Amino acid sequence: MKYKRILLKLSGESLMGEKQYGIDNERVKQYAEDIKAVHDEGLEIAIVIGGGNIFRGLSAEKSGMDRAQADYMGMLATVINSMALQDALEKVGLKTRLLSAIKMEQICEPFVRRRAVRHLEKGRIVIFGAGTGNPYFTTDSAAALRAIEINADVVLKGTRVDGIYTADPEKDKNATKYQTLSFKEVYDKELNVMDMTAFTLSKENNLPIIVFDMNKAGNFMKIAKGEEIGTLVKG
């Protein structure tokens, strides 16, 4: 296996599967099985999930809601998604811990960096909920931050497209895929895959990012083994 410790970033929208809203249990089950296969090879896995399938703070702000209030609501949505994935992972036999940046002791542990690392060392899947715990920061930024804090080897961003393209491949048939990109190229081309705060954190800490299609069963394992699928951002 190419990596020892990875952080998997999933969008909230990815949990919808074929639905228009909420959580598709079949999609979550597929993710759990793919994660188990990789974990069984000895990798340490941490996960950050977005909340866009339930609530998006930016969208709520545009309709008149206070941005900080909307962002906190979005953080709660990420905890709901984290609990759904935690349940699916435990159903396939994995040990998990859900750590939240906002205290809610009845359902998850508070985030403590050393505790998170210890859980990983013990072979548990660690899920980070509630983003960074601060408004105005996305779950992309939370993924980069947590990956740096736990000394992950790479951030794997699982999406419904198989990498970064010159344009949205779902809208532009002429869009072409990048195999590799530097962080500078992402800035210069204004490629909207992760927010710039996440890219800046990753660049400053030499943390590579791979964007890939998580919806295709087996892709997670291929990346863990070092196969060149998706788009690699580094340097």
Greater confidence (71 vs 161) lies with: 71
CB 214 within 8 A of CB 159: yes
Distance between CA 227 and CA 164 in Å, rounded?
16
* Region of residue 12 (left: phi > 0; alpha: psi -120 to 50; beta: else): alpha
Give the pLDDT band of residue 70 (cuts 50, 70, 90): very high
CB 119 within 8 A of CB 110: no
Lowest mean per-residue pLDDT among 8-17, 55-64, 191-200, 222-231 = 55-64
Q: What is the pLDDT of residues 123-174, one digit of tens each?
A: 999 999 999 999 999 999 999 999 999 999 999 999 888 999 998 888 888 9
For the cut 80, the answer to whether the pLDDT of residue 40 exceeds it is yes
Residues 6+ apart with CB under 8 A from 84: 15, 23, 28
Residues 63, 197, 152, 99, CA torsion sign: negative
Threshold 0.75, pTM exceeds? yes
What are the tokens at 200?
Answer: 């800046």
What are the tokens at 43?
Answer: 């990798």
Distance between CA 171 and CA 83 in Å, rounded?
33
What are the residues facing 181 on neighbouring strands? Answer: 233
Q: Which amino acid is at 156?
A: L
Angstrom distances, CA of residue 8 to CA of 5, 140, 160: 10, 11, 14
How do strand 164-165 and strand 177-178 relate by DSSP bridges? Answer: antiparallel
